[in-house]
Amino acid sequence: MISLKSSDEIKRMRDAALITIEAIDRMIAASEVGITTEELDDIAYRYILSQGSKPAFKGFEGFPGTACISINEEVVHGIPGKRKLQDGDIVTFDCGCVVKGYNSDMARTIGVGNVSEEAKRLIRLTEEAFFNGVKGAVSGNRISDISKGVEEIAVKNGLGIIREYVGHGLGRGLHEEPEVPNYTTRSRGPVLRPGLVICVEPMLTLGAEDTILSDDGWTAVTSDYSLCSHYENTIVITKEGPCDIISIR
């Protein structure tokens, strides 16, 4: 069932989103060659707790980290640990927290040190795909109007679209209905209505569109080990158009 959110619920989610983006920014600022993903995760953990919030991911279905930290060919759900960042890596931080029972969820991919032009292009186009998809997030449109915008950028630029992981609704639950694919399907999906809160999150690759699961049981990697980039924000459908939840007043 799709749940439309009240203004009070949306404000709680905005507060959670503001904490989360600061936690991600702090991890990004500390991302240098030699630091471990465990150390980066601890930065997010300490900051979220300092704000009177709690990590949304830690313990969710058994996940051990505050953030999913995925490197290079890792698509999502990378477990923080002893791995050190290397020159030329691209790193995705996917993080969320809970404020008064409501979740936030967002992701960013960055480059570390001397990153290839190909990797920089992938990161840039993944963000562009997000914003192109959000253009379709207008009340009265359907989920497929978002999917079409994301797909358009990927296809135009010869990038693969991860199909096993998609965007989703957000609220008291970390993953709520509806699903928000990054590609078009036969179904146009539900109608977008004011009060709907969704996470739009393109995951684009330099190669394969399917994934394999690592031995840790969590980390998904591209089946051909090609680079993957991920960009995610939480969007509120309003009568005036789509709005980044952080901008809601």
Tens-place pLDDT, residues 153-170: 999 999 999 999 999 999
**126 found inside a domain:** yes
Cα–Cα distance measured from residue 99 to residue 23, given in angstroms and rounded to the nearest whole number: 14
In a domain, 58, yes or no: yes
Establish if 145 belongs to a structural domain: yes
In this structure, is residue 39 part of a structural domain? yes
Q: Tell whether omega for the bond before 178 is within 30 degrees of 0, i.e. cis.
A: yes
pTM: 0.97
Question: Which H or E run includes 159?
Answer: none
Answer yes or no: is pLDDT of 176 > 90: yes
Contact 169, 103 (CB under 8 A): no
Question: Does residue 1 lie within any of the structural domains?
Answer: no
Q: Rounded distance, CA 186 to CA 142, Å?
A: 12
Distance from C-alpha of 147 to C-alpha of 151, rounded to nearest angstrom: 6
189 found inside a domain: yes
User: According to the model, what pLDDT value does residue 205 have?
Assistant: 98
Q: Is a pLDDT exceeding 90 seen at residue 37?
A: yes
- DSSP, residue by residue, 8-53: HHHHHHHHHHHHHHHHHHHHHHT--TT-BHHHHHHHHHHHHHHTT-
Q: Tens digit of pLDDT for each residue in 207-221?
A: 999 999 999 999 999
Q: What is the CATH number of the domain that holds 165?
A: 3.90.230.10
Establish if 129 belongs to a structural domain.
yes
Q: Total structural domains in the chain?
A: 1
pLDDT of residue 248: 80
Pairwise CA distance, residues 226 & 13, whole Å: 34
C-alpha span between 101 and 98 (Å, rounded): 6
User: Considering only 10-14, 167-171, 181-185, 244-248, which range has the smallest mean pLDDT?
Assistant: 244-248
Residue range(s) defining the domain that contains residue 185: 7-247
Does the residue 46 lie in any domain? yes
Angle at which helix 7-29 crosses helix 37-50, to 10 degrees, equals 140
Q: Are 226 and 204 a contacting pair, CB within 8 Å?
A: no
